[in-house]
Amino acid sequence: MPVFVKYLITFFVAMVPVIELRGAIPIGVGMGLPVVPAYITAVIGNMLPVPIIYFFARKVLVWGKDKPLTGRFFTFCLEKGEKLGAKLEGKAGRGMFLALLVFVAIPLPGTGAWTGTLAASLLNLGFKKSVIAVMLGVLAAGVIMGVVSAGAVGAIGKIAGA
């Protein structure tokens, strides 16, 4: 497979909700990409949808919550986003920036840029502050996943070579 295709796969996987860069970095490294370029590619791919999510996700979810095909799912997303946002706001108080950053930085499904940005949008946090907090969280999560991926690939290589 051409190297360019590996980068494209890494980039697009990082854009997928839930998977995000938590899956993209291990996939990129697993395909043989160096950790740092895989990290950079995944961060860019993960951050690209953030402004769109911030400005349009809430509007789309509110619009679609009453529709027959999308109603249940969109209502679920709105309720989950509002619950997570309220929980985050309740715990953080005035420290919402740091709370959002840490929430996004935890490399678990459901805590990434998509959910963090949706929560920020539902809580009407400022765009600039939200994007910076999400970006710093994505960078931190990427470092964690890069370290884990490099270690995992190295360990698998040693086991396979043994």
pLDDT for 109 equals 78
Tokens of 93: 């108080």
Do 19 and 13 touch, CB atoms closer than 8 A? yes
Interacting residues of 36 by C-beta distance below 8 A, sequence separation 6+: 146
Q: Quote the pTM value.
A: 0.81
Rounded Cα–Cα distance for residues 154 and 148 (Å): 10
pLDDT for 156 equals 59
Rounded Cα–Cα distance for residues 57 and 117 (Å): 9
Do 131 and 50 touch, CB atoms closer than 8 A? yes
DSSP state of 56: I
Q: What is the pLDDT along the chain (162 residues), one digit of tens a residue?
A: 899 999 999 999 999 988 999 999 999 999 999 999 999 999 999 999 999 999 998 888 889 999 988 889 989 888 877 777 777 777 777 788 898 999 999 988 778 999 899 888 888 788 999 999 999 999 999 999 989 888 765 555 555 555
Tokens of 132: 């910076």
